[in-house]
Amino acid sequence: MDKRLWIAEENSKRLDVFLSEQLEDFTRSRLKKLIEEGNVCINGKPTAKAGAEIRVGDEVTIVIPDAVEYAAKPENIPIDIVYQDADFAVVNKPQGMTVHIGSGVCEGTLVNALLYALDSLSGIGGVLRPGIVHRIDKDTTGLLVVAKNDKAHVSLASQIAQKTCKRTYYALLEGSVKTDSGRIVTDIGRHPTERLKMAVLPDGRGKIAVTDYEVVARFGQEFTLCKFDLQTGRTHQIRVHAKHLGHPVVGDPVYGYKKQKFRLNGQLLHAWQLRLTHPTTGEEMTFNAPLPTAFCEILEKLCKQYGVDRASFSTLFNE
């Protein structure tokens, strides 16, 4: 049995539409059957209505009777656990590591490593995504929180949905960003022709995505170091919004420039800070992870080349 839970971030969506957006590999007919058979609950109450209205903050759970043929297995893969207690763990994910298995990836993921390293993980994410409350891209580095029990999972997922969990990223962008700060508000959804990509879509065609940004340092007209605060959490959100600004993330193999100045294995995008409320104690907690070595080395070179004093962002370095 595969059980999954989501916290709705928007009002007035039909249940079948909401589920189809979460479970993109499921056909609408399969989802309708699961609903009609009583496998879906809204706020703990079963419903057989595909058109049931979903409101922000609603807890939507689905039980998929036919379990997948394989589940994640523990693997002894070294990972950087920044913090852990009985309820959750905060992990500093390295570049090149996928968060969970799926789409042909069945080993070497963060979930495989977590199953080996931690004493427990929540079961809400199902057999493929135990403990996973939110994700970051394979080639993005930095912090994410992992739930160790279902109660903590619900609390943490609700914080993300209600935008009380704050996530701050740093990225090196191509070119010189025009304004020193701003807010990007667009709809983001699946690219109409390139299905592996996301894109900014006309209003109403995707999900609302909101990103705040602030310029930290400029390196001539060639590069800009920016801080990003996520107000929503759409797939590839910062990468898509950076491209929308006309300044894609350096090293981005999907949304960036084909010709790169640096030899990189992925985008220079790092989840630097995570602020959340402890699921049990209610304590406000903040976690930071310094920029990875490759990112730091490039910034050091740019500072010397353009005469930029790195003192204003020295806290980003592992010193």
Please say whether the beta carbons of 191 and 199 come within 8 A.
yes
For residue 319, give Cα distances in angstroms to 6, 123, 227, 290, 299.
Answer: 38, 37, 20, 9, 14
Question: Is 80 a residue of the active site?
Answer: no
In DSSP notation, the chain reads -EEEEEE--SSSEEHHHHHHHH-TTS-HHHHHHHHHTT-EEETTEE---TT-EE-TT-EEEEEESS--S----------EEEEE-SSEEEEEEPTT--SS-BTTB-SSSHHHHHHHHSS---STTTTTSTTBSS---TT-EEEEEEESSHHHHHHHHHHHHTT-SEEEEEEEEES--SSSEEEEEEEEEE-SS-TTSEEEE-TTSSEEEEEEEEEEEEETTTEEEEEEEESS--TTHHHHHHHHHT-PBTT-TTTS-SS-SS--SS--EEEEEEEEE-TTT--EEEEE-PPPHHHHHHHHHHHHHHT--GGGGGGGS--
What is the C-alpha separation between 274 and 27, in angstroms, rounded? Answer: 35
177: burial class by Cβ within 10 Å (0-12, 13-18, 19+)? buried
The residue from 87, 137, 139, 252 that is catalytic is: 137
Catalytic residues: 137
